[in-house]
Structure 1
């Protein structure tokens, strides 16, 4: 096991349920310095686990473990932290309670403060649902978070994004083998269908028009090869109930639902941290227009669009040019005095 577990005990969730013996899986990179002033939190994304974030960590990069103490907390539902697949009855499988972005960040805050005694975070950053958690950190703990860089994500899931996820959910649950979540074997037909729905959204029209999937660094032999090897290969490794649990979290993401906040605008206006908000030019889930609206309601935020044809996966660590763009933004933000 290349990660550690923080025992949360019995937790009360925002939607009203309790979860006994809750656990938060995490991995750290680098060393916490003497005054505990070099910590960064880098949350995971939909279906991703901590090792899926490691492409943005390395020597000479902004997230350099020789300089910073980087904490990657795994979202609840991702199979490592408490999830439908690893929780005993009565909250197992389809009975796993609903978890919000707010819940995830509350538990991550406990990890950061109780396990490590950290009072300030130099940065919170993340991709996709990790970006949603980044926004939530800045709203929930404005005195603690010094800087944020959410990339390819949003402060609230849009209606269009919600509808996309309805297609994903329905494709998976339409498989008779899903059996209302009480399956003994993973519903492979549903997982493959989910992957095919996802494939049309994760990358953009230009990506497919120019057959970028055939070029390096991907190098697939054909479109069908890409759909099977990349997309079906990605989701066949996942648990169906875990995917559906995280999907609910994604659909209902909204920092405006933070206790004490009146609206999305109120929550955005409460963010004090300097921010670079970084959408991808052709992201079909989180288009730049949504982030442009958000930035207008934030005090110290800049919109910086990742150019190119990789759509949402501009933030996925696959294209070196996009990685450099994100890394350069992180370096610039970390160099900013706050």
Structure 2
């Protein structure tokens, strides 16, 4: 398979944890053409375990993210297997020795890509689903004068305590597999990856989704067990366990204010976001409930609360699973871009 993305060489990159990773790499893909004024830019970060391919469902002619109109940049998150990750970093920082990475680290590297490599000073919009939303919030607070608009959907500016607890279950499922070998596995910890799929299955979609049997009626699975195997186990089996653990750490430690700019003052960090914002939670999202978004919006100077009316839980926001939700998100992004 030919590589359809580019690598930005970051050199020795110092993470917030203090570790400096030599030959650090940021993988990215661009869509469309940068205009002469360099002001038609949309930054669209990836989500937990997702790669740039997994973001493409929201890009296309006639959509809000139209490559004929905009220059769309998808930077891959550290730990996702394309940018520097446990799975592709040479010794000694490979596998379980990979640095702890924050959303702040990711956005700092992305900012370097946008400014140093691509020569861009102004961004029209930053948007993203799930952990992409976490990074979107960080863009807004870390570089408040750089973008006009932000649209985080189905994600939060800080990992809630309840969300943290869920992720402890994901990590425990992976580590319980004897094949995991404390992160030094020689063969894939398949049982652990299948278990992660099972843990996720009860959280990624809402109670109403299961009550309405959408796994059978909308997605066409033969039974609930078939759905758990085909959709959920199938989702996680191709992933690398250490990569998943690295990104889980990033997610759990997501906090807009945990940096030298805001020193833990969460309200100040939200208040610093100047961009006009549509904060779009999924109405039935069990990871990022609408209440969390309402708190965020209340502390942002130029934000609107725009819930996605869907029973698809977290998956209302991606990755293109339900056409009605795709249309809702796309319409709202169009509305925001037109303002």
Tell me the TM-score normalised to structure 1 length.
0.98
Superposed, which structure 2 residues align to 1:151-230 within 5 Å? 151-216=153-218, 218-230=219-231
CA drift at 1:43: 0.2
Is residue 319 of structure 1 aligned with residue 322 of structure 2? Answer: yes
CA contact (8 A) 1:140 1:258 kept: no
User: How many residue pairs were aligned?
Assistant: 335
Is residue 289 of structure 1 aligned with residue 291 of structure 2? Answer: yes
CA drift at 1:173: 0.3
Provide the C-alpha distance between the structure 1 equivalents of 2:27 and 2:171, rounded to a whole number of angstroms: 25
Superposed, which structure 2 residues align to 1:94-105 within 5 Å? 94-105=96-107
SS at match of 1:124: strand
CA drift at 1:298: 0.2
CA contact (8 A) 1:57 1:64 kept: yes
Partner of 2:36: 34
Partner of 1:5: 7
Partner of 1:333: 336
Partner of 2:54: 52
Superposed structure 1 runs of 4+ greater than 4 Å apart: none
CA drift at 1:258: 2.9
CA RMSD of aligned residues (A): 0.6
Partner of 1:255: 256
SS at match of 1:285: coil
Superposed, which structure 2 residues align to 1:2-151 within 5 Å? 2-151=4-153
Provide the C-alpha distance between the structure 2 equivalents of 1:242 and 1:266, rounded to a whole number of angstroms: 32
Tell me the TM-score normalised to structure 2 length.
0.98
Provide the C-alpha distance between the structure 2 equivalents of 1:151 and 1:308, rounded to a whole number of angstroms: 13
Provide the C-alpha distance between the structure 1 equivalents of 2:297 and 2:253, rounded to a whole number of angstroms: 20
Partner of 1:240: 241
SS at match of 2:294: helix
Provide the C-alpha distance between the structure 2 equivalents of 1:322 and 1:260, rounded to a whole number of angstroms: 36
Provide the C-alpha distance between the structure 2 equivalents of 1:299 and 1:57, rounded to a whole number of angstroms: 29
Provide the C-alpha distance between the structure 1 equivalents of 2:120 and 2:337, rounded to a whole number of angstroms: 18
SS at match of 2:162: helix
Partner of 1:264: 266
CA drift at 1:15: 1.2
CA drift at 1:35: 1.3
Cα deviation digits, residues 57-77 of structure 1 (max 9, x gap): 001000000000000000000
Provide the C-alpha distance between the structure 2 equivalents of 1:260 and 1:109, rounded to a whole number of angstroms: 16
Stretch moving more, 257-266 or 229-238: 257-266
Cα deviation digits, residues 95-124 of structure 1 (max 9, x gap): 000000000000000110111100000000
Cα deviation digits, residues 217-256 of structure 1 (max 9, x gap): x211111111101111110010000000000000000001
Provide the C-alpha distance between the structure 1 equivalents of 2:145 and 2:311, rounded to a whole number of angstroms: 37
Stretch moving more, 315-324 or 156-165: 315-324
Provide the C-alpha distance between the structure 2 equivalents of 1:45 and 1:73, rounded to a whole number of angstroms: 10
Provide the C-alpha distance between the structure 2 equivalents of 1:167 and 1:104, rounded to a whole number of angstroms: 24
SS at match of 2:8: strand
Provide the C-alpha distance between the structure 1 equivalents of 2:26 and 2:322, rounded to a whole number of angstroms: 30
Q: Any unmatched runs of 5+ in structure 1? A: none
